[in-house]
Amino acid sequence: MRPAYLITGVELRDSNPVNFNGENLNISGLGLLFKKFLMVGQVQNRMEENDRKIIKIIDQNNEFYFIIGQYFTGNPEKIWDLQINSYVLISATLTFREKNSSQERNIYAENFREISDLELQFYRLLGMKFLQDRLNVVKKVISSGAKELNEISALTKSNYLAEGIYYRINQNLGFDVSRYEALLDSLKLSSERSTKDKILDLIKSRGEMSMDEIIASLGNSMTSKEIEESVYDLLNSGEIYESKEHKYKYVI
């Protein structure tokens, strides 16, 4: 059985159904073959429509509707315990079916759990790392000119990823490398800005704060190193300044 990969919302949105060696799977724009996946995001809503319970999740850029149905392994009623704007790690299955001469996409949740701000940052960084790793492998394969499965496997060191890259090459589907490079840059900037905005909002609300006070307030959602680096970036960009008492203040 193929593992459940941690993927970003853009990868999920760009995925399409394929039949690979008799197995109905999905393939991402970078050649990741998968059925199940993991994703982190923020709960926007939970609802019931046509006797189906649904959770609306947003990751960093995309909204998705997760159906609580045939694949769910827990108690469906626990969706009502989810707080709006809370963060979740969700495992799910992406399916497609023919409907009115087109492909209908459905995402079925298998399970989920609420996570903290710190866990959210961890999983988002991990998701970006995995995406960067997949992109690096695709660029290596393209530059090598490899087209056979054994050649690609030797470069990727992963049969699962090699199979998907091989499929995209031999079906002439191509790889939009520049698009994914731009996506990674955007995700990194968004992550960095999110940390700085939290610090900035905190300083605004308190008037002034020392480094120790900032770390004490935000230490549950980010590391001390992240906080210190973000404070110095805010100093260098002129958004805050340091007083003689070594307190940080917002530049009005």
Q: What's the average model confidence in pLDDT over 141-168?
A: 91
Question: Hey, where are the domains in the chain?
Answer: 5-175, 179-250
Q: Do domains 5-175 and 179-250 have the same CATH topology?
A: no
pLDDT at 53: 95
Q: Quick one: average pLDDT of 114-135? A: 87
Name the pLDDT band for 252 (thresholds 50, 70, 90): low
The matching CATH number, chosen from 2.60.120.200, 3.30.460.10, 1.10.580.10, 1.10.10.10, for 179-250 is 1.10.10.10
pLDDT, residue 192, reads 65
According to CATH, the topology of domain 5-175 is: OB fold (Dihydrolipoamide Acetyltransferase, E2P) (2.40.50)
**Would you state the pLDDT for residue 221?**
64
Q: What is the pLDDT of residue 147?
A: 92
Top-confidence residue, 245 or 69 = 69
232 phi, psi to nearest 5 deg: -65, -35
Q: What is the pLDDT of residues 196-244, one digit of tens each?
A: 888 888 888 888 888 888 888 887 667 788 888 888 888 888 888 888 7
Burial code (b: 16+ CB inside 10 Å, e: under 16) for 178-207 equals eebeebbeebeeeeeebbbebbbebbeeee
Look over the chain and give the mean of its residue pLDDT values, rounded to a whole number.
Answer: 88
- Cβ atoms within 10 Å, residue 35: 16
pLDDT of 193 reads 66
Pick from 92, 108, 94, 55: nearest CA to 77: 55
pLDDT tens across 49-98, in order? 888 999 999 987 789 999 998 899 989 999 999 999 999 999 999 999 87
